[in-house]
Structure 1
């Protein structure tokens, strides 16, 4: 070992005088080692398990936060629907049920989207779900 170095091996026994007032550094690992417990060595599988556990715990906390972020104090809007009468068109249904300031074409597009319609064909007796505007 070189004469002038600050390196101190962790495996060499330190000669510490019981009466000296030298400051000692404390670590949990050295405390467990003094009690006679073996040192824990990270293996590849142990590190993988620890990462997986950490990932699951973080996921649980993050998932809980996301759920709380998307919760609303307002009740869900009610689903309105209408039964198609003979002679009804999408335009006439939209004119009767849309809000006053809404565009009829946009309301018709909302009806088509809510009901999965590709065209404008509707038949008497069909039940159409109206969009919430």
Structure 2
């Protein structure tokens, strides 16, 4: 008759613990990176419909919605024009990045 002995608990060596820490850190950093990518893509907003015939500008370094609004419609309230630019471009926030093409409201 054979007696079954209980197996000893699993023990990690120093190298095993180091490998486990590296794997967990890599997975955490990968998840963090993917999360920040998802947030940055989500903040872009809705897909922009075709705005055939509308004028547009390219955002330059240091530009804000309000400076663009003031430049394209100097006689109007910059906040109202900035809100209209946000609506036209499907923006959910006022954050804009250099190189982005923004459609601007045409003069009526």
Q: TM-score, normalised by structure 2?
A: 0.48
Q: Which has the higher helix share?
A: 2
Q: Larger Cα Rg: Structure 1 or Structure 2?
A: 1
